[in-house]
Amino acid sequence: MDRWVVVAPERSRRPSDFRMERQPRKQGRCPLCPGNEADTPPEVLAYGKRDRVPDTSGWHVRVVPNKFPAVRNLPRETGRQGLYEWMSGLGRHEIVVETPAHVPDLDGQNPEQVAEVLRCWMERSRQLARDPRWRYVQVFKNVGRPAGASLEHTHSQIIAIPFVPAELGRELAGMHVYRRSTSRCVLCDMVAQELADGRRLVHDGGGFVAFAPFASRFPGEVWIAPREHAPDFTALQAAGQRELAATLLAVLRGLAAAFNAPPYNLVVHTAPHGEAGGEHFHWHFEISPRLSITAGFELGTGYYINPLPPETAAAWLRDGKTVGGNVSND
């Protein structure tokens, strides 16, 4: 999709060449643990026992407004300063506490719990999308401090914003260009090619396919996409949620094994609601381990240097047992 990456594997041969600690922060009382519900703003959604009182324990997934939001429920204001334009940081920023267990990630959770997290991402996204001010609801997950997480307890984030983000606009435009010249969906074609080729395939979960994208920007980058064309992530039904949970778990366990529980970011890209042509979008997850530092070349050019070919990354992620071992291609 109109993106150039320099794949430069000369200097890296083993998974242990790609090490980055999650750097957990020494924390006192965890505001996300059960029993500490009063430490967060009042919950906006929770799954738990039937007769549970809000903001008490007994939940298994809980959504609260972010205490330190990146965007706020502000009046919409815009202005100019000479040639610069500004807009108030309008939006909603929420935290999804993914399990009552104080663990750093979902990889040790059972598939049912992960499916509940996915259900929560979808339900809360749909609820937020009903507010006409929001044009996009971004679900994402930061794990480990190098990936931006400030709390250790496994959680994800949902931000509703009043515009379609540039990255998504770029993907939409790329999908439209491909569609105009081929009458097909580029991601449908990518999934088909990865399944047929196999070299970059990480996990074939039936309805969902995980693969290391051709010319990945980041070492160990993995995308998960539905095999059949589907624009709206939030429309997934219960059976699909369970199947997606199993695929996501396979990827997270592969990452943890191959790269020693790396810090990573996960972003959900789904069709912006109400956007013309949105039905041609093909939703997907992008999972980017933080195993290298983006530096001057990336900043200066917008191109990425990736020292790990996706074919090698996929092989490591598939067997997940190669930590410290040698790779056969030297």
Enumerate the active-site residues: 155
Handedness of CA 296, 145, 250, 185 (dihedral sign): negative
CA distance 319 to 325: 12
In the block, tokens 């909603």 appear at 92
Total residues at interface with Zn ion (CB under 5 A):
11
Stretch that binds Zn ion, among 18-26, 31-39, 49-57, 303-311 (CB under 5 A): 31-39
CA distance 169 to 24: 34
Q: Tell whether residue 229 is a contact of Zn ion (CB under 5 A).
A: yes
Q: Tell whether residue 215 is a contact of Zn ion (CB under 5 A).
A: no
CB atoms within 10 A of CB 141: 24
Pick one of 124, 153, 203, 242: the residue that binds Zn ion (CB under 5 A).
Answer: 153
The two three-digit tokens of residue 5, written as one number: 């990456």
| Among candidate residues 148, 159, 113, the one with its CA nearest the CA of residue 252 | 113
Residue 103 or 323: the one with the smaller Cβ distance to Zn ion is: 103
Could you tell me the smallest distance in angstroms from the CB atom of residue 85 to Zn ion? 26
Instruction: With beta carbons less than 8 A apart as the criterion, state whether 46 and 286 touch.
Output: no
Pick one of 124, 200, 217, 269: the residue that binds Zn ion (CB under 5 A).
Answer: 269
CA distance 52 to 58: 7
Give the type of residue at 288: S
Stretch that binds Zn ion, among 43-51, 119-127, 237-245, 276-284 (CB under 5 A): 276-284
Could you tell me the smallest distance in angstroms from the CB atom of residue 84 to Zn ion? 29
CA distance 117 to 111: 10
Pick one of 7, 16, 30, 163: the residue that binds Zn ion (CB under 5 A).
Answer: 30
Instruction: With beta carbons less than 8 A apart as the criterion, state whether 172 and 81 touch.
Output: no
**Within 13 Å and on the Cβ side, how many CA atoms surround 58?**
9
Pick one of 282, 290, 312, 314: the residue that binds Zn ion (CB under 5 A).
Answer: 282
Residue 30 or 246: the one with the smaller Cβ distance to Zn ion is: 30
Stretch that binds Zn ion, among 1-9, 49-57, 247-255, 264-272 (CB under 5 A): 264-272
**Within 13 Å and on the Cβ side, how many CA atoms surround 152?**
15
Footprint of Zn ion on 94-113 (CB under 5 A): 102
Pick one of 33, 45, 164, 246: the residue that binds Zn ion (CB under 5 A).
Answer: 33
Pick one of 44, 71, 103, 188: the residue that binds Zn ion (CB under 5 A).
Answer: 188
Q: Tell whether residue 139 is a contact of Zn ion (CB under 5 A).
A: no
Stretch that binds Zn ion, among 122-130, 140-148, 178-186, 320-328 (CB under 5 A): 178-186
Could you tell me the smallest distance in angstroms from the CB atom of residue 330 to Zn ion? 33
Task: Give the DSSP H or E segment for 5.
Answer: strand 5-7
The two three-digit tokens of residue 158, written as one number: 């949902």
How buried is 22 (Cβ within 10 angstroms: 0-12 exposed, 13-18 middle, 19+ buried)?
buried
CA distance 88 to 76: 6
Residue 163 or 323: the one with the smaller Cβ distance to Zn ion is: 163
CA-to-CA dists, residue 318 to 117, 135, 213, 222, 321, angstroms:
24, 37, 14, 11, 9
Footprint of Zn ion on 283-322 (CB under 5 A): none
Pick one of 103, 164, 185, 327: the residue that binds Zn ion (CB under 5 A).
Answer: 185
Interface residue list for Zn ion (CB under 5 A): 30, 32-33, 102, 153, 185, 187-188, 229, 269, 282
